[in-house]
């Protein structure tokens, strides 16, 4: 892929979208270290870990659900400021939380603000003309943030405790603040373009995609139930096997190299990656990596399983985003995906918390695998229709070339 492949007009919305969505989801990306450090600080059991893992995501789900219906009513620059204020407030309250209930309420407030940042970010990404690559770039950036965070956070926790995690989240909120001016410029450009644009092709949903797109929303929900279930307990599964928290955090950080490689592959392939076999192969490897953790695994097997899991996680996540954006270039379904992502992230650990005390960590694996397989079934109709459309366009183009 050449630099020219990323079009200049996409840079402003692409970068704004990547930064805002990245910071909005930062707590989710760093969830293993966050919940493990909170467990040490507040002496939480496995069930309470599930509650904490669901707190931020519940706030995200609430605010993104509201915005899915009411985004057009808000000035996006003010929405950015509102999201930052709520996230800062939630983090400040987290610093003063004495009991787990106080912490849960403060994380819910932080999640409300994070959700507004996510919606704004995804809206901007959907407004690029190269959604396949920009969603893959976003995923690659998320993997880099995960790798750095999972490597640094245990060292910060060792010296300054749980509060260092909260301060890290607050430091990340500076980045969206710097997007205010570029966002205002982009919104003016978008308004001017909308007034002069008589071609509404990018704001319509073709009939052949409507039913598959609704099914794709279920695919997103089930996929993030799977991710939320495993990711919340990923560190706990390692420490329960006798590995130190520091080593487990390093293993999680190293696994992000694989995630970056998977996202980078899709950045390179761009729109040429519309093939259901990518889902099938990725899902098979993900099931295999999760199943390995049902065994009496060694530290090396744990690391390999995490690396493989991260590679295919980033591939499937990027593909889901890009395929939904390709089927609905207006961005409406991408916006609707966000509450489902957060509901999935919240439901996963909540479901696991009901079973983990009685059935152990194996229940986490079974829930994650079942949700993943349901996701792959639901995304198939959309990918099939997209592939058929590409074949029809290619055939039509070939016929026209032959006529000439």
Domains of the chain by residue range: 10-190+205-388
The fold for domain 10-190+205-388 equals Growth Hormone; Chain: A; (1.20.1250)
Instruction: Give the whole-angstrom CA distance, residue 238 versus residue 297.
Output: 9
* pLDDT score, position 404: 53
Q: Comparing C-alpha atoms, which of 132, 83, 135, 131 is closest to residue 110?
A: 83
**H-helix or E-strand containing 273?**
none
Q: What is the CA radius of gyration of the chain?
A: 21
Instruction: Give the whole-angstrom CA distance, residue 387 versus residue 208.
Output: 12
Instruction: Give the whole-angstrom CA distance, residue 97 versus residue 163.
Output: 10
Q: Comparing C-alpha atoms, which of 335, 13, 24, 10 is closest to residue 185?
A: 13
Q: Which residue has the tokens 């710097």?
A: 178
Does 74 or 220 have the greater pLDDT score?
Answer: 220
Q: Which residue has the tokens 């996510």?
A: 118
Instruction: Give the whole-angstrom CA distance, residue 22 versus residue 121.
Output: 8
pTM of the model: 0.75
**From the CB of residue 399, how many other CB atoms can be counted at a distance below 10 Å?**
10
Instruction: Give the whole-angstrom CA distance, residue 288 versus residue 286.
Output: 5
> Are residues 153 and 168 in contact, defined by beta-carbon separation less than 8 angstroms?
yes
Confidence of residue 271 (pLDDT cuts 50, 70, 90): low
DSSP assignment of 283-312 = HHHHHHHHHHTTS---HHHHHHHHHHHHHH
Name the H helices within 161-244: 163-172, 174-177, 180-196, 207-240
The DSSP symbol for 200 reads: -
pLDDT per residue as tens digits for the range 272-312 = 666 788 899 999 999 999 999 998 888 899 999 999 998 89
Q: Comparing C-alpha atoms, which of 321, 335, 338 is closest to residue 382?
A: 321
pLDDT per residue as tens digits for the range 16-74 = 999 999 999 998 888 878 888 888 888 888 778 878 878 888 898 899 888 877 877 88
Q: Tell me the CA end-to-end span of the chain in Å, nearest whole number.
A: 31
Burial of 81 (0-12, 13-18, 19+ CB in 10 A): middle
């Amino acid at each position: 892929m050449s630099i020219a492949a990323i079009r200049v007009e996409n840079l402003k919305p692409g970068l704004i979208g990547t930064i805002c969505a990245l910071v909005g989801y930062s707590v989710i990306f760093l969830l293993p270290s966050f919940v493990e450090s909170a467990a040490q600080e507040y002496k939480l059991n496995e069930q309470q870990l599930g509650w904490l893992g669901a707190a931020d995501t519940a706030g995200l789900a609430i605010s993104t659900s509201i915005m899915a219906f009411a985004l057009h009513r808000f000035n996006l620059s003010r929405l950015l400021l509102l999201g930052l204020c709520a996230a800062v407030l939630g983090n400040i309250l987290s610093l003063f939380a004495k009991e787990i209930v106080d912490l849960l309420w403060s994380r819910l407030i932080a999640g409300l603000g994070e959700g507004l940042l996510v919606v704004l970010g995804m809206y901007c990404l959907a407004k690029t003309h190269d959604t396949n690559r920009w969603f893959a770039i976003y995923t690659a950036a998320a993997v880099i943030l995960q790798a750095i965070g999972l490597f640094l956070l245990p060292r910060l926790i060792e010296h300054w405790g749980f509060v260092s995690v909260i301060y890290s989240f607050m430091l990340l909120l500076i980045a969206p603040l710097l997007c205010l001016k570029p966002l205002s410029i982009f919104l003016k450009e978008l308004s001017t373009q909308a007034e002069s644009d008589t071609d509404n092709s990018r704001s319509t949903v073709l009939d052949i995609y409507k039913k598959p797109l609704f099914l794709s929303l279920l695919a997103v929900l089930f996929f993030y139930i799977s991710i939320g279930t495993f990711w919340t307990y990923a560190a706990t599964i390692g420490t329960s096997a006798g590995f130190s928290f520091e080593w487990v955090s390093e293993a999680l950080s190293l696994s992000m190299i694989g995630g970056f490689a998977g996202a980078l592959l899709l950045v390179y392939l761009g729109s040429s990656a519309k093939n259901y076999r990518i889902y099938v192969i990725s899902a098979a490897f993900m099931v295999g990596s999760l199943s390995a953790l049902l065994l009496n695994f060694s530290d090396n097997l744990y690391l390999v399983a995490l690396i493989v899991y991260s590679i295919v996680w980033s591939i499937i996540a990027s593909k889901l985003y890009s395929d939904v954006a390709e089927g609905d270039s207006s961005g409406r379904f991408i916006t609707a995906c966000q509450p489902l992502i957060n509901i999935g992230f919240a439901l996963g650990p909540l479901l696991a918390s009901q079973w983990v005390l009685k059935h152990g960590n194996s229940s986490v694996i079974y829930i994650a695998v079942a949700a993943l397989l349901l996701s792959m079934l639901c995304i198939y109709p959309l990918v099939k229709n997209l592939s058929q459309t590409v074949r029809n366009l290619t055939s039509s183009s070939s016929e026209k070339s032959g006529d000439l």
